[in-house]
Structure 1
Amino acid sequence: MSSQLSVILENPELAEQLLPEAQTRGFVTAMAAAPHVLDPAEWLAFLWGGEEVSPFTSQEDLETYANAIINIWNESRESLLTNTWAWPEGCALDDKELVTEATRDFSEGLLQGWQLARDDWETIMPEDTEDSALLGGVLLSISLLYDPENAMQALSEEGADGLAQFEEIFKSVPMMLCGLSQRAHALVSN
């Protein structure tokens, strides 16, 4: 993961006030996937709970953090639009817990970020369209990864081999996120 962000989060005082790294990456990935580029000034404060005053004691520390976030955004945006995005380090399936804590955190951050850009998504991908179905499929998959126990139960109730389906969902997320981002970019570029 981003060494610059990791170093910042090693500070115990900041770690308590900022989202964990995987959740931060999920949120920033949602911002990078958003149909319209949102100014980081509009969403950066969400990474420390939405408070007006940042938890940083100096302007330099805030700038270092903001630069780390912008670097993640740039990397995510480019990889989403070039179909090369992959799960961040630490995000994986887990034999005991179904997914790692990093996967849950990333999924939570992605869902939180989506909420912020929800109006843009719903405007370009209106209900009852193929695009809306694509968006819904991606969000459902991420929701399942955020809450794997209930996902397994629901898949089993549908008669599916829950574990095999779950593994397939996890493996398909990079392709789905890239496809969704590219479709959104195409829709707003026309």
Structure 2
Amino acid sequence: MTLSEFLAQHADSDKLLNEMQTRGVVTAMAAAPHVISPSEWLPLLWGGEEQAPFENHEQFEDYANLIVDIWNEQRQQLLDKQWHWPEGCALDDAEIVNQATRDFAEGLLQGWSLTRDDWEILMPENTESNALLGGVVLSISLLYDPETALSTMEAQGAEELAQFEEIYNAMPIMLCGLTHHGAALAEDQERS
């Protein structure tokens, strides 16, 4: 069973993040420099509530297994530098990016919020590493809310929709690079 099939079959799925938001959160957790137990971040997928919105333990187990499988796949793709946008994410001529891309970026930002401290300890302010991290997070933010970003750019005299295409196309490379760098820094920290 896929995540989309699970969400379509379960009545309580409206209490869960949608598929792209979920994939964004899971990708952020897979990119994190330190592996964080799913028990710490799974509640984010249903709004942080203490009680999971499932009818029974088997449903929860099915859902958790799907999420862990996605995490494993994403982590491997990020470390192998093979990660790519999920199917359905795309640029859009009228809206700059489509809703799936916005949802994915929203989930990615939510996931970053849980791992922020880990990133900032490994990549402190005023370092090249922090500049890399800032660039990735800024790019994700631009893809989450491109209209605001475009308005700001227009106010400064730049009207380049092509910049969003560059950001979108560069995101796989940036995210893989950040994951690799974070994992190397975390490994060095553990050895110290």
Matches within 5 A, 1:29-178: 29-178=27-176
Q: Any conservation in 2 of the 1:99–1:148 contact (CA below 8 Å)?
A: yes
Secondary structure (helix, strand or coil) at the match of 2:83 reads coil
Q: Which moved more, 1:150-159 or 1:162-171?
A: 150-159
Alignment partner of 1:182 out of 175, 180, 183 = 180
Q: Which runs of 4+ in 1 moved over 2 A?
A: 11-15, 154-161
Gaps of 5+ in 1: none
Distance in 2, matches of 1:112 and 1:89, equals 20
Q: Any conservation in 2 of the 1:153–1:162 contact (CA below 8 Å)?
A: no
The alignment's TM-score, normalised by the length of structure 2, stands at: 0.94
Per the TM alignment, residue 12 of structure 1 is displaced from its structure 2 partner at its CA by 5.8
Distance in 2, matches of 1:26 and 1:148, equals 17
Distance in 1, matches of 2:12 and 2:6, equals 7
Task: State the Cα deviation string for residues 119-156 of structure 1 (Å, max 9, x = none).
Answer: 00000000000000000000000000000101112233
Secondary structure (helix, strand or coil) at the match of 1:162 reads coil
Per the TM alignment, residue 177 of structure 1 is displaced from its structure 2 partner at its CA by 0.3
Q: Give the superposed CA RMSD.
A: 1.1
The alignment's TM-score, normalised by the length of structure 1, stands at: 0.95
Secondary structure (helix, strand or coil) at the match of 1:10 reads helix
Aligned residues: 188
Distance in 1, matches of 2:169 and 2:61, equals 35
Gaps of 5+ in 2: none
- Identity score, percent: 61
Distance in 2, matches of 1:14 and 1:147, equals 28
